[in-house]
Amino acid sequence: MKKLLKQGKRLGLVAMAIFLAGALLLGSVVPAKATEEVIKIGWRAIFTGPLATFGVPVSQGAIDAAKFINEHGGVDGIEIDMVWYDTRAEVPRGVMAHKRFKEVGAVAELCFVCSLMEACAPLQVRDKMPLLYIGTFTSPAILTKPPWIFPCGSTWEGVAVAMAKGLVDMWTEERPLRFGAIIHDLVDAHIQVDATEKHAAELGIEFVGREVVPFIPPTLDTSVEWIRLAAKKPDWVYIFGFGMTFVTLMKDAARLGIRDKGIQLLAAPFSADERTLKVTGKDTEGIYAVVAAATNVEAELPEVRAILEYAKSYRGYEPQDVPCTYIMANALVRVAAEGIRLAIAKVGLENLTGEAVREGLTSIRNFEPGVIPPVTISDEHPWWWDSLPRICIVREGRQVPVTSWLPVTFYPEWFLQRLEEVSG
């Protein structure tokens, strides 16, 4: 009997240890205000891992945007509970985040990594949980009827073509612009480069080739890739890399004198965010970047000014240090909040579900977050807008716009066919 009691005590301690470990692992997904009326939104954050340099400011930006909204009345007087989980940009953790958000009663999810969006796409449909995503559609399977995924742009092909047109408009020589790319081994990167290569002739550019570096683990040396690409004498090189890899690419490019050879560098959307630029320093001074939101130099915009002020209050960021990713996260949360507001107006808080929020999102018309173009979403047009990127130049670690919003007018055949299928 004593032996059994001892075993029982041991089991009890083990059970308690497991419970405590689970509670620690659950972290922020434990409801913050279980006894109050709140609106739960799930946020697939990145605070650790190889993309943390890029992920931390956008993750902070979403959390802080919800806090700011709450301090100014919430959504029709109801606070947002931003329930986050650190995914590390890893697919299994992204799937785990979705399951936990569902368990705690979230009515929408937010994401900014393509691989996590794609992996969880079937779960959004199955669990009737809308997802707002900083990115674009990448697969025919993600376009569903009705839509459950709402990216800020239509396709990466459209973004790539718009970006290439922007470069051609800046090009002053008579000969075609010679274009190359060095990219993370990610589907959305390959999609952009494939589109640029396929449509090079009609765009008035000459595609010279691409080099590919690993996504995870991040590469520590890109010298070979840079030397091979530079030997093809491109005028512009498009760089699709984030976090540690972007830093390595920029340091190696500077060490090898890539720009001294007359080669201009263009960073992909959010690759050259201000947090990363602080690390790369003079090695990125004067490069160009594609940016999908207002930047910290545009304090004349009321919304940017408000973001700069609360970034200082919440995080201690000086205006010049507020990343474009932090600003874009504000737009992500505000679009989600607008969809939720419209849903509550229609069904009431007591009937608020993921399905109701989905319908609210598709009711958004000409909503102005202030840091991106006006947003309109419908079942037939489940992305936010058709003017995604601007081209900026890096000056003293800040991204200064040199073009207006570049209109996205190209839609690949697979997208048009799938859109017709789900809209018919």
What pLDDT, in 10s, does the model give residues 76-112? 999 999 999 999 999 999 999 999 999 999 999 999 9
Tell which residue, 272, 389, 270, 394, has the closest CA to residue 325. Answer: 270
Alpha helices in 322-410 (DSSP H): 324-347, 354-361
Cβ-contact 188, 138 below 8 angstroms:
yes
Question: Residue 25 above 80 pLDDT?
Answer: no
Question: Residue 8 above 50 pLDDT?
Answer: no
CATH number at residue 226: 3.40.50.2300
Q: What percent of the chain has pLDDT over 70?
A: 92
Read off φ and ψ for residue 134, nearest 5 degrees. -80, 95
**pLDDT (tens digit per residue) in 242-277:** 888 899 999 999 999 999 999 999 999 888 988 889
Lowest mean per-residue pLDDT among 22-26, 48-52, 329-333: 22-26
Query: What's the number of domains the chain is made of?
Result: 1
Question: Residue 1 above 50 pLDDT?
Answer: no
Cβ-contact 383, 151 below 8 angstroms:
yes
Grade residue 187 by pLDDT with cuts at 50, 70 and 90. Answer: confident
Question: What's the half-sphere exposure (Cβ side, CA atoms, 13 Å) at 297?
Answer: 13
In a domain, 26, yes or no: no
**pLDDT (tens digit per residue) in 128-146:** 999 999 999 988 889 999 9
Q: What is the mean pLDDT of residues 373-381?
A: 95
In a domain, 85, yes or no: no
Q: For position 24, what pLDDT does the model report?
A: 36
Tell which residue, 87, 84, 82, has the closest CA to residue 114. Answer: 87
**pLDDT (tens digit per residue) in 155-164:** 999 999 999 9
In a domain, 423, yes or no: no
Q: For position 349, what pLDDT does the model report?
A: 95
Q: For position 36, what pLDDT does the model report?
A: 59
In a domain, 187, yes or no: yes
The rounded mean pLDDT for the chain is 90
In a domain, 65, yes or no: no
Question: Residue 35 above 90 pLDDT?
Answer: no
Question: Residue 345 above 60 pLDDT?
Answer: yes
In a domain, 161, yes or no: yes
In a domain, 165, yes or no: yes
In a domain, 121, yes or no: no
**What is the model's pTM?**
0.86
Determine the distance from the C-alpha atom of residue 401 to the mean position of all C-alpha atoms in its chain, rounded to a whole number.
19
Domain that holds residue 286: 157-294+388-409
